[in-house]
């Protein structure tokens, strides 16, 4: 059962990142809705769209992206600190401080930079067999707890990416009087999709390394983004 779950999560995580990186028309082949970048889709939206409701949906998706980002980054920081990656943890902390619990951002927060920094930590963990194997029982438990937080953040983030992609695709047809409400959402959509690759591309390798180092998987690991689609 353990090996089956490990294999399922690995395939699922890879599928999510590949789907987000694929040409837009092929994303749904991996169980995800089309990730459409505004301006590239030939699909037209209905003239009876309630632009106020769409803007509210977009705001909600944006909050999901940022609250998910915060949890993903905090998890990465915890794991980095447990493994002694002080420089990497400090760099990511500077970004996380600009995200509030409610998903609002301030200062010079940069989603792309945050995702890249988090992804860099995950990449480093995925190749650090020696450090993972040298962790104490308490440290291993902390990493397990942190991975649970990573799953929660990942679910929230992917939910936001799906939502904002849909809103941004429809918003490209908004009348000029409404376009100001969607400018930020249209700009964020492709950045969030790219960020997903940084957040999740190395997750399968990290899981393999954790398992090899006898680090327990959290109870919610099956909720890892994409797992429910397979």
The string of DSSP letters for the chain reads -HHHHHHHHHHHHHHHHHHHHS-GGGGGGGTS---PPTTS------TT--HHHHHHHHHHHHHHHHHHHHHHHHHHHHHHHHTT-HHHHHHHHHHHTTB-TTS-B-TT--HHHHHHHHHHHHHHHHT-HHHHHT--HHHHHHHHHHHHHHHHHHHHHHHHHHHHHHHHHHHTT--HHHHTTTHHHHHHHHHHHHHHHHHHTTHHHHHHHHHHTTPPPPTTGGGSTTGGG-
Give a yes or no: residue 54 inside a domain. yes
pLDDT tier for residue 41 given thresholds of 50, 70 and 90? very low
Residue 156 lies in a domain: yes
Q: Which of 200, 154, 162 is nearest to 36 (CA)?
A: 162
The arithmetic mean of pLDDT across residues 203-218, rounded, is: 92
Q: Give domain status of residue 13, yes or no.
A: no
pLDDT of residue 52: 92
Q: Does position 40 have pLDDT exceeding 80, yes or no?
A: no
Residue 222, pLDDT score: 86
- Top-confidence residue, 124 or 22: 124
Q: Is residue 14 part of a domain?
A: no
Q: How many domains does the chain have?
A: 1
- Is the pLDDT score of 14 beyond 50? no
Would residue 9 count as lying in a domain?
no
pLDDT band at 108 (very low <50, low <70, confident <90, very high): confident
User: Is residue 32's pLDDT more than 90?
Assistant: no
Question: Is it the case that residue 28 has pLDDT exceeding 80?
Answer: no
Residue 193 lies in a domain: yes
For 87-97, the pLDDT digits (tens) are 999 989 988 99
What's the whole-number average pLDDT of the chain?
Answer: 81
**What are 99's strand-pairing partners?**
105
What are the pLDDT digits (tens) for 112-123? 999 999 999 999
Classify residue 154: in a domain, yes or no. yes
Range of the domain at 130: 50-100+107-222
pLDDT (0 to 100) of residue 47:
62
Residue 93 domain-assigned?
yes
Task: State pTM to two decimals.
Answer: 0.80
Please write the tens of the pLDDT for every residue from 52-96. Answer: 999 999 999 999 999 999 999 999 999 999 999 999 999 899 889
For residue 15, the model assigns a pLDDT of: 43
Q: CA–CA separation, 226 vs 228, rounded Å?
A: 6
């Amino acid at each position: 059962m353990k090996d089956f779950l490990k294999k399922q999560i690995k395939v699922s995580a890879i599928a999510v990142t590949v789907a987000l990186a694929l040409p837009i028309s092929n994303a749904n082949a991996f169980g995800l809705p089309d990730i459409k970048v505004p301006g590239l889709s030939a699909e037209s939206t209905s003239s009876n769209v309630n632009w106020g409701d769409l803007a509210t949906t977009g705001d909600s998706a944006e909050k999901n992206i940022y609250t998910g980002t915060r949890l993903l980054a905090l998890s990465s920081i915890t794991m980095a600190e447990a493994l002694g990656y002080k420089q990497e943890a400090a760099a990511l902390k500077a970004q996380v401080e600009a995200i509030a619990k409610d998903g609002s951002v301030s200062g010079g927060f940069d989603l792309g930079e945050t995702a890249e920094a988090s992804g860099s930590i995950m990449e480093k963990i995925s190749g650090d067999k020696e450090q993972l194997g040298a962790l104490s029982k308490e440290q291993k438990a902390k990493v397990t707890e942190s991975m649970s937080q990573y799953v929660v953040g990942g679910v929230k983030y992917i939910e936001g990416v799906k939502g904002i992609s849909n809103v941004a695709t429809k918003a490209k047809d908004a009348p000029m009087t409404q376009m100001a409400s969607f400018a930020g959402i249209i700009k964020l959509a492709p950045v969030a999709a790219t960020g997903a690759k940084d957040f999740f591309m190395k997750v399968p390798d990290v899981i393999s390394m954790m398992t090899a180092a006898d680090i327990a998987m959290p109870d919610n690991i099956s909720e890892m983004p994409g797992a429910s689609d397979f």
